[in-house]
């Protein structure tokens, strides 16, 4: 599976995960307690015809909160392992935002103060994650998304492709070598000894001249 090293912000995701898991555990415990009470006691006298509706709502809430916890665990694992594609993260946040948005509206209609407070936390954190995921996907499509951090390459010669690069602070660049061409003919040869005519130096070739062939020169 390919790695997806995208800039998921820990300040956004970790805060959302902690709040969502805590609130979901509270709702999960409250729903389980209501189902347990409904089995131990006959609530038909109190709730009347609404007993079945409340029981079904408690069971549905257990399923939704359990799904949210599972989705958060999957997000934590994939992002920590750098295996979370932006499209999958966006899909996950869309599902959570839609679910808690609907439940929040229903709680507002029912005027349940405690439920409104709990669900608004879930809806707000899911919405923040949705905005964060949308920004990542948008930048990825435009090609402006930075993936990971790369160290600058060190060029020991201080230049690249014929153009001198600016020195990077903290690195030592040795001075460039002198590439000026010097003709070997400009340097006089060493004196020749053992010549029958005596110690005679070989004729010096004027600087800047070039030996084009091996023909002798007239002096």
CA dist 39 → 32, 45, 59, 204 (Å): 11, 14, 13, 117
Do 217 and 210 meet the contact criterion of CB atoms below 8 Å apart? no
pLDDT for 102: 94
pLDDT for 36: 80
pLDDT of 202 above 90: no
Average pLDDT over residues 7-36: 91
More confident residue, 36 or 108: 108
Q: Which of 12-21, 111-120, 121-130, 190-199 has the lowest mean pLDDT?
A: 190-199
Take residue 200 and report the two structure tokens written for it. Answer: 């005679």
pLDDT for 47: 61
Give the tens place of pLDDT for each residue, 48-103. Answer: 666 667 778 888 999 999 999 999 999 999 999 888 888 999 999 999 999 999 99
Whole-prediction pTM value? 0.61
pLDDT for 33: 86
- Please give the backbone phi and psi of residue 9, each rounded to the nearest 5 degrees, phi first: -80, 125
Give the tens place of pLDDT for each residue, 140-199. Answer: 888 776 654 434 444 544 444 444 445 555 555 555 565 565 555 555 555 555 555 555
pLDDT for 194: 52
pLDDT for 59: 87
> Structural domain boundaries of the chain?
10-142
pLDDT for 100: 95
pLDDT of 26 above 50: yes
Please name the helix (run of DSSP H) or strand (run of DSSP E) that holds residue 139, with its range, or none: helix 113-142
154 three-state secondary structure: coil
């Amino acid at each position: 599976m390919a790695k997806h090293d995208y800039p998921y912000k820990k300040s956004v995701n970790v805060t959302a995960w902690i709040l969502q898991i805590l609130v979901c555990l509270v709702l999960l415990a409250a729903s389980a307690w209501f189902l347990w009470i409904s089995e131990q006691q006959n609530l038909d006298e109190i709730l009347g015809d609404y007993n079945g509706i409340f029981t079904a709502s408690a069971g549905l809430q257990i399923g939704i909160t359990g799904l949210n916890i599972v989705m958060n665990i999957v997000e934590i694992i994939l992002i920590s392992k750098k295996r979370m594609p932006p499209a999958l993260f966006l899909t996950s946040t869309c599902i959570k935002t839609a679910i808690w948005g609907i439940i929040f509206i229903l709680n507002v209609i029912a005027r349940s103060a405690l439920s409104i407070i709990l669900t608004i936390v879930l809806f707000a954190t899911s919405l923040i994650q949705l905005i964060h995921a949308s920004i990542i996907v948008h930048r990825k499509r435009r090609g402006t998304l930075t993936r990971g951090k790369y160290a600058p390459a060190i060029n020991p010669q201080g230049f690249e492709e014929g153009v001198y690069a600016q020195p990077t602070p903290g690195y030592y660049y040795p001075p460039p070598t002198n590439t000026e061409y010097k003709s070997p003919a400009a340097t006089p040869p060493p004196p020749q000894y053992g010549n029958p005519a005596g110690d005679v130096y070989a004729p010096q070739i004027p600087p800047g001249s070039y030996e084009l062939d091996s023909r002798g020169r007239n002096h």
